[in-house]
Amino acid sequence: MTNATPTDDLAPQAPRPVRSRRQRMVPVGIGISVVVAVVALVASLVGGSLFFYNADEAVARRVDLGDERFTLQGAPIGCSITEGFNGEDPVVAFSVTFGGETVDIVHFGDPADLFQPDVPVVLDGAWVKGIAPVEGFDGVAADGWYFASDRMRVKHDNDYKNDEDYDQRLAESTAATDASKTLCGT
C-alpha cells in the first residue's frame, strides 16, 4: 500500500493542450443557436395565438381588429339559422348575441355536432365588410359586417348540477330563449 505524500501533488504534470480559437468558438456557436431557437419558438407561439372576444367586445373592437383572425363567442339566435352551400362545401349562416350585441356569422364547413339555438358557440375567423354570401340569410345585426368563420366549437359546461339549482337554470334558459325571440320578432 502506498501512501501519498504532499510532495506527490507538486510533481510536474504534462502541459494541457492549447485549444485553438476555432475549438473555443464551437460552444459559443451552440449557445447562440439554442438562444435563437428558443426565441423563434416563443415568437411562433405568441404569433399563432388567437385573441378571444365575446360578441359585444368584438363589435366594440371591430375597427381595431380589421381583418385579423380572432376567436368570437356568442349564443346562436334560433330564427336566424340558414344552411346552404358554397359550391359543394356546406355553409351555415346565423346570428349570435352576447352582452346586448348581435353579430352575423357565416361559417364555412359543417357546424359542430352540438350546434343549436341558445347554446354558446366559439368561432375562429375574421371580420368581413359586406353582405353575407348566403342565399336567404338577412342576418339579425344587418349592419354591413359579418364574421367569416372556419372553425366552430360548442361551448358547454362539464359541471354536474343537482336538482337544487334546477329552478335557477330553468330561469336562465328561459331568459336566453326570450332574448332570442325578441331579436327574431316573435
Q: Could you give the CA distance from residue 184 to residue 186 in angstroms, rounded to a whole number?
A: 6
Give 136-182 pLDDT, tens digit per residue.
898 899 899 999 999 999 866 655 555 566 666 666 656 665 666 66
Is 132 part of a structural domain of the chain?
yes
Q: Which three cell numbers stand for residue 111?
A: 357546424
| Residue 124 clears pLDDT 90, i.e. is over it | yes
Is 6 part of a structural domain of the chain?
no
Q: Which domain holds residue 65?
A: 52-184
Count the neighbouring beta carbons within 10 Å of the beta carbon of residue 55. 25
Count the neighbouring beta carbons within 10 Å of the beta carbon of residue 167. 9
Is 40 part of a structural domain of the chain?
no
Is 41 part of a structural domain of the chain?
no
pLDDT, greater one: 120 or 165: 120
Is 103 part of a structural domain of the chain?
yes
CA–CA distance from 176 to each of 97, 154, 160 (Å)?
10, 16, 20
What's the number of domains the chain is made of? 1
Give 85-98 pLDDT, tens digit per residue.
888 889 999 999 99
What b-and-e string marks burial along 116-141, b requiring 16 or more CB atoms within 10 Å of the CB? ebeebbbbbbbbeeeebebeebebbb
CATH number of the CATH domain containing 136: 2.40.50.140
Is 93 part of a structural domain of the chain?
yes
